A and B are shown apart, each in its own frame.
Chain A
Amino acid sequence: QSALTQPASVSGSPGQSITISCTGTSSDVGAYNYVSWYQQHPGKAPKLMIYEVSNRPSGVSNRFSGSKSGNTASLTISGLQAEDEADYYCSSYTRSSTLVFGTGTKVTVL
């Protein structure tokens, strides 16, 4: 049950696009299309942003998109805005019927 690997930090200027990677194994990310992404602002509970690799819940901006290739999933934020500055976590279902989160990525808007 090792955590999925994410870059510690990613930054971009307002209006730019950034991509956060989430690397797992053939036992989790590579095994299922059950990858989710969560946004967490300081002192707040996480918020679901993407589920099942590329689906957006109602109310989430279409500037957020997800994809997957092999054992690596990605979250792209386009048209970066100040309010996007937060921590982002991926998660995946595993072959052991458990969940595993990524190490987390701090997004900074320059």
Chain B
Amino acid sequence: EVQLVESGGGLVQPGGSLRLSCAASGFSFSNYWMSWVRQAPGKGLEWVANIKQDGSEKYYVDSVKGRFTISRDNAKNSLYLQMNSLRAEDTAVYYCARLVAVATLDYWGQGTLVTVSS
């Protein structure tokens, strides 16, 4: 059974940093692109970033470029999102998801809440 479990969310002050993790199991993690998607409270879904199987390609939404870094450790079956210079508008539930066939997010984690507030 495919499982994705996010962790690392919490309350952080504006300008602060946070690192999210996503533990994957039930599939061959190193064979798949992975993604982060976020959802602000009461708002819609927003794609954040993708990473290729070997980490050689990464793509980001414009609003996080230069502040967020997606990475992975295939030996640990883990996906990460390093978030720096956090802003109030980054407050959201962050989901990790498996990406297949270029643009299909077929499995999602339960999400982890990040709150940016003073």
User: A residues within 8 Å of B by Cβ?
Assistant: 1, 3, 32, 34, 36, 38, 40, 45-48, 51-52, 57, 87, 89, 91-93, 96-104
Contact = CB atoms under 8 A, between A and B. Distances in A.
A38 B46 CA distance: 13
Interface centre among A32, A40, A99 (most CB of B within 10 A): A99
Interface centre among B104, B106, B110, B111 (most CB of A within 10 A): B104
A51 B46 CA distance: 18
B105 interface: yes
A38 B59 CA distance: 21
Interface stretch (B17-25, B69-77, B84-92, B95-103): B95-103
Interface of B: 35, 37, 44-47, 50, 59-62, 95, 101-106, 108-111
B95 A45 contact: yes
B44 A103 contact: yes
Contacts of B95: 45-46
B104 A98 contact: no
A27 B61 CA distance: 15
B103 A91 contact: yes
B105 A48 contact: yes
A97 to B, nearest CB: 5
B111 to A, nearest CB: 6
Contacts of B104: 34, 36, 48, 51-52
Nearest to B43: A104
Given A102-B44, A104-B44, A36 B110 contact: no
A46 B101 contact: no
B54 to A, nearest CB: 16
Nearest to B6: A45
A89 B103 contact: no
B101 A52 contact: yes
